[in-house]
Amino acid sequence: MPKGSIKVNEPPPPTLTVPPEHSTKYKGVKHTILVMSGKGGVGKSTFSVNLAVSLASMGYRVGLIDADINGPDDPKMLGVSEMKLYARDNLIMPVQSKYGVSVISMGFMLPNENTAVIWRGALRHKAIKQFLEDVYWENTDFVIVDFPPGTGDEAISVAQLIPEATDGVIIVITPQEVALLDAKKVLNFAEMLKVKVIGLVENMSGFVCPHCGNEVDIFKKGGGESIARSNNIDFLGRIPIIPEIVNSSDSGVPAVTTDRTTKKIYEEISTKIVKKLSGKPKG
C-alpha cells in the first residue's frame, strides 16, 4: 500500500462583490420585509402570501414582490394569475388582488404558466431591479419580498440595491434538522450583507387531525425556537400543517380569509412584526 500524506488546502474566505449601484428610485414604501428560506419546500411563498393578506386585513397598504423568477406562484395563490400588467405615467402598476394586496410577479409576463424562464444572473438582477424601481409602490406601508430558496442572485440583488430601505429578513423553516442547517446559511447571508433579522417562523410545526384534534409532530417540533434562541433572534411563531392552507393556496383563496385557526396564527405573527418595526400596531 502506498505511503504518504494528503495535503488539503484551506478554502479561501467567502467574498462578495458589491455592485456600485444603490437604487434611488424605490420610493414610497415605509417597510420592506424579505422572506427567505435556506431550502425549498418549507412553505415560504404560502407564508408570504398569507402574511401579506393578514397585514392588509389590519388596515395596512401592502405590496408583494414575487422574486422567484423561475417559480412565480404568488399570483395563483392570490387568485390573480389571469390578470395582465399595464403602465401609467411610465410606471408598471402592480396587480390589485381582492384581498388588499398589490402584487408584481414574473408570472404576469409569461405567455402561459408552463413557460420556463431560462435566465442567467444578469437578467435576474435586471428583473428584480425593475420590480423595485419601475413599479408603482407609492404610499405602501409594507412590501413583502418573496424569494426563491437559498441565498442566490435575487436575494443578493435586493439586499445590495436597497440596503437602506430593507427592514430585515424573516426566515421560514421546518423543524427537521436538515432545514435547521439551511436556516443557519440564511443567518450567515444576513450577517455578510449586513441585513437585520426580523425573526424566524417554524412552518409545518405539527399536524392537528381535523377529526380527533390530536397533534402529531411529523417533522419534529421546537427546532425553530431553539435556533432563534441560540442566535439571539426573535421567534415569531409556529404554523402547524393545516389542510385548509394547502387547499386554499391551490384555489387562489388565502387561508387567512377562510380558516379561523390560520387567521389567528397569522394575526399574532403580524402583530409581532408590526410592533418590532413600527413600535405599535395600527389603530
What is the per-residue pLDDT across 171-218, written as a single tens digit (0 to 9) for each? 999 887 777 788 889 999 999 999 999 999 999 887 777 777 677 777
Asked if 34 and 162 count as a contact pair (C-beta separation under 8 A), the reply is no
Could you give the CA distance from residue 274 to residue 267 in angstroms, rounded to a whole number? Answer: 10
Asked if 235 and 224 count as a contact pair (C-beta separation under 8 A), the reply is yes
DSSP-derived letter for residue 31 is E
pLDDT digits (tens, 9 = 90+) for 130-180: 999 999 999 999 999 999 999 989 999 999 999 989 999 999 998 877 777
Among 51-55, 245-249, 275-279, name the one with the lowest average pLDDT.
245-249
Among 17-21, 111-115, 149-153, 276-280, name the one with the lowest average pLDDT.
17-21
pLDDT digits (tens, 9 = 90+) for 93-107: 999 999 999 999 999
Asked if 86 and 75 count as a contact pair (C-beta separation under 8 A), the reply is no
pLDDT of residue 46: 95
- pTM comes to 0.89
Q: Helix, strand, or coil here: 129?
A: helix
Average per-residue pLDDT for the chain: 88
Q: How confident is the model at residue 283 (pLDDT cuts 50, 70, 90)?
A: very low
Q: What percent of the chain has pLDDT over 90?
A: 64
Reference 181, options 72, 63, 42; nearest CA is: 42
Burial label for 30, CB within 10 Å (0-12, 13-18, 19+), is middle
**Whole-number Cα distances in Å, 272 to 213, 236, 275:** 27, 7, 5
Does the pLDDT value for residue 39 go beyond 80?
Answer: yes
Cell numbers describing residue 26: 424605490
pLDDT of residue 158: 95
DSSP-derived letter for residue 135 is B
- 121, 181, 171, 36 alpha-carbon torsion, rounded to 10°: 20
Asked if 102 and 62 count as a contact pair (C-beta separation under 8 A), the reply is yes
Arithmetic mean of pLDDT, 232-243: 91
β-pairing, 101-105 with 62-66? parallel
pLDDT digits (tens, 9 = 90+) for 251-271: 899 999 999 999 999 999 999
Does the pLDDT value for residue 51 go beyond 70?
Answer: yes
Could you give the CA distance from residue 50 to residue 66 in angstroms, rounded to a whole number? Answer: 13
Cell numbers describing residue 121: 444572473
CATH, domain 29-278, list 3.40.630.30, 3.30.2350.10, 2.40.340.10, 3.40.50.300: 3.40.50.300
Residue ranges per domain, the chain? 29-278
More confident residue, 8 or 266: 266
Strand partners, 63: 102, 143
CA triple 31-172-58, angle to 5 deg: 45
Does the pLDDT value for residue 16 go beyond 70?
Answer: no
Arithmetic mean of pLDDT, 33-58: 94
Could you give the CA distance from residue 265 to residue 260 in angstroms, rounded to a whole number? Answer: 9
Q: What sign has the CA pseudo-torsion 41, 272, 248, 63?
A: negative
Most confident of 47-56, 82-91, 253-262: 47-56
